[in-house]
Amino acid sequence: MARARRQASHENHERWLVSYADFITLLFAFFVVMFATSQTDKAKASQVSDAVKDALENGGVRAMVHEILGGTVDDKGQGNAMMHGPGGETKVKSPDPKPLPPPEVAELLPSMKYLSGELQSEIKSGKIEMRLEPRGLVVSLKQAAFFPSAGDAVDPASYPSLQKVAAVLRDLPNPVRLEGHTDSVPIHTARFRNNWELSAARSIAMLNVLTDRFQLSAERFSVAGYADTAPVASNDTEENRARNRRVDIVILNQLAKVPDSGPTLAAAPSAPKK
């Protein structure tokens, strides 16, 4: 009879990496402790220590070594984490993703109530309208009270009203979008070739006033020009066209990643023009 040959078992020549990685980890931890004890700033030392601890517990060197040797790391830090399905098949166990923290969103209804009181005279006179939409709080500045006809220079007489709005914006973390709108009457001047340029220029002019004069951070703002494509009223009468000529200061809910001019949920009343 032929003698059965023994199949030589495969020897893992890379096992030294585990011991080497443990040694490097301990050496690194030793230097971190030495560094932390030599720092006079205890807060920074604590931050460094916590960061190293998090790196060692959540992946770090050990996970890299196990990845080289094969397999994955389970929730206890062990390599080759596998689980078996009902049919006997082997599946790789993947770690559960960490939930993202909820976005910081300020409740806008109290801000709307506060602004309604502060801007009571402007709302009654029709200079400002406010409404709460799904995307956020809209403070609508009418062109006749804030801009000259066919121009983009903010009237200095409107600064007291804008200061009240800026005070609320300063206390809120929400991003702000400035949207310029016109009526449907075409415009063509030496400065503006069409309503698109006029609406965008008014948004930028309002941005400059809020950031330069009232010292609000420009990083919170975005600007847009809609021309006559997003009216709040039909353009069949002069009164409605006056309502459409506006710059909207939209205090956004941070959940609204791509805001648009959606339907109105509630509106602050304004007096009809005489």
| DSSP-derived 3-state class of residue 6 | coil
Do 207 and 218 contact (CB within 8 A), yes or no?
Answer: yes
Q: Which is more confidently placed, 131 or 86?
A: 131
Q: What is the pLDDT of residues 71-105, one digit of tens each?
A: 444 444 444 444 445 555 545 455 555 555 444 44
Cα gap 67→64, rounded to integer Å? 5
Question: pTM for the full model?
Answer: 0.56
- Using alpha carbons only, how large is the chain's radius of gyration in Å? 32
Q: Which residues of 163-182 are buried (b: 16+ CB within 10 A; e: fewer)?
A: ebbbebbeebebbbbbbbbb
CA distances from 49 to 24, 28, 44, 164 (A): 17, 11, 9, 46
| Domains of the chain, CATH where assigned | 16-92 (no CATH), 109-267 (3.30.1330.60)
Asked whether residue 199 carries a pLDDT value surpassing 80, the answer given is yes
* H or E, element range at 43: helix 42-57
Q: What is the pLDDT of residues 3-54, one digit of tens each?
A: 545 555 556 666 677 777 778 888 877 777 776 666 555 666 566 667 666 6
Do 259 and 174 contact (CB within 8 A), yes or no?
Answer: no
| Cα angle for residues 52, 57, 61 (degrees, 5° grid) | 75
Cα gap 252→255, rounded to integer Å? 8
Q: What is the pLDDT of residues 218-274, one digit of tens each?
A: 999 999 999 999 999 999 999 999 999 999 999 998 755 444 444 333 333 333 333
Classify the phi-psi angles of 155: left when phi > 0, otherwise alpha if psi is within -120 to 50, otherwise beta: beta
Do 251 and 111 contact (CB within 8 A), yes or no?
Answer: yes
How much is the pLDDT for 183? 96
Block residue for tokens 């951070």: 217
